[in-house]
Amino acid sequence: MAQKRTIHSFFTPDPKKQRTTTNADQDETPTYSTHNTYPFPIRDLSKSITKELASLPARPGKPINDQPELDLVYFEPYIPLYLAKDLFRFLRSELPFYRVEYTIKRFGVETHIRTPRYTTVFGLDHTSLFDDDDSSIILDAKTHTRINPAEAYPRYSPRPIPQCLDALRKSTEAATNCKFNFCLVNYYASGSDSISFHSDDERFLGPEPAIASFSLGAARDFLMKHKPIPPPPDGRTAPAFKQLKLPLASGDMILMKGKTQANWLHSIPKRTGKSNQYDGGRINITFRRAMVKGGTDNYYNYNVGKGPVFRWDDTAREMKEWKTTARPSPNISPNPKSEQEEPEKAD
């Protein structure tokens, strides 16, 4: 008879499946992705993890399309638990993060927004390419001639997707038949970090964008609700939409596509209560495809910004400001009129 598993044993990798901490991995000399825009070199995944990612998804995706204009594919999970656990720890330790603040005009009033989570982004829109042989060179995607990044991307220098995220991008492209040129990462340090209801329907993603969204670490609820619609004429009853609540677990992936972004909003609400085996920390990775230069500027502005870099401190078990003499001090607009959390993601 099969042995009964305790709750603890579900989070303790099965020895037969502990392929990510093999002797081969431990003996491997680490390699790093480097670029002049990275605040520090970003470690590459081991050969064995890279190979495993290429063989995913662990389970085929299931469509969720039983409501008007809703078009999702839910991979539950895409990354098996033992691997998701390693990948969560790896990315939390190795990526640079930011706590972006910005000012927007809301109802004619300058409002200071503090993004309620850590973020980072890598990638370049469809009009340009990093040179395969030298990623410090950016090429025009059509002519393959060199462009001047200071002219084409004056506010933020684009960052190539580091190997540790690019391996997952390649796997996701193969599994979904979609193409992605951007990777956005959110880190929710605890239940008080969140993302408010919004849709990723920015014009620079083109019509009917496909967005692949991965969860690693603590489980959090992903809520979806239909955008408000005008009341139908001549007293007819408005269609009823049900709100969705998907308790996304480590390793899960949701592909949002078709008319979803144009018609539905999604959010990760704040959560109270106990933390779990991941200290309550959760990483979200989204792969997207930006079509025009404005998309690149927008993504860096709201996910990197001009403020300080944060990096995971494994002794303190929290994100700490990462100091370097090579980087200018934070550049945050002084004396904001009011401060509040993001209302909705700005375009």
Catalog residues that contact ligand AKG under the rule CB under 6 A.
Answer: 184, 186, 195, 200, 213, 222, 266, 268, 284, 286
Residue ranges for the known binding site are 186, 188, 198, 201, 266, 282, 286, 288
Q: Which stretch binds Fe ion (CB under 5 A): 54-62, 107-115, 153-161, 195-203?
A: 195-203
Query: Known binding site for 2-oxoglutarate: residues?
Result: 186, 188, 198, 266, 282, 286, 288
In whole angstroms, what is the distance from residue 153 CA to residue 150 CA?
Answer: 6
Confirm if 197 and 345 have CB atoms less than 8 A apart.
Answer: no
Q: Give me the least distance between CB of 184 and ligand AKG, in Å please.
A: 6
Nearer to Fe ion, 86 or 201 (CB): 201
Between 222 and 310, CB nearer to ligand AKG: 222
Alpha carbons 120 and 322: distance in angstroms, whole number? 14
Other C-beta atoms lying within 10 Å of the C-beta of residue 24? 11
Closest approach of Cβ 220 to ligand AKG, in Å?
7
151 CB burial (10 A radius; 0-12, 13-18, 19+): exposed
* Partner from ligand AKG, Fe ion, none binding residue 128, C-beta < 5-8 Å depending on class: none
In terms of CB distance, is 69 or 200 closer to Fe ion?
200
Work out which of 25, 76, 200, 344 binds Fe ion, going by CB under 5 A.
200
Q: Which residues pair with 182 in a beta bridge?
A: 123, 288
Residue ranges of the binding site for substrate: 201
Alpha carbon distance, N-terminus to C-terminus of the chain: 57
The nearer residue to ligand AKG, 48 or 196, going by C-beta atoms, is 196
Give the contacts of 81 (CB within 8 A, at least 6 positions apart). 10, 11, 13, 250, 251
CB of 287 to ligand AKG, least distance (A): 11
Instruction: Please list the residues that pair with 220 across neighbouring strands.
Output: 248
255 CB burial (10 A radius; 0-12, 13-18, 19+): buried
213 binds, among ligand AKG, Fe ion, none (CB under 5 to 8 A by kind): ligand AKG
d(CA 233, CA 229): 12
Which of Fe ion, ligand AKG, none has residue 284 at its interface (CB below 5 to 8 Å by kind)?
A: ligand AKG
Write down the least CB distance from residue 8 to ligand AKG, Å.
Answer: 27
Stretch that binds Fe ion, among 78-86, 89-97, 194-202, 234-242 (CB under 5 A): 194-202
CB 314 within 8 A of CB 336: no
Q: Which partner in Fe ion, ligand AKG, none is near 120 (CB below 5 to 8 A by kind)?
A: none
Q: Amino acid identity, residue 31? A: T
Residue with tokens 């979904």: 176
Binding site for Fe ion (CB under 5 A): 200
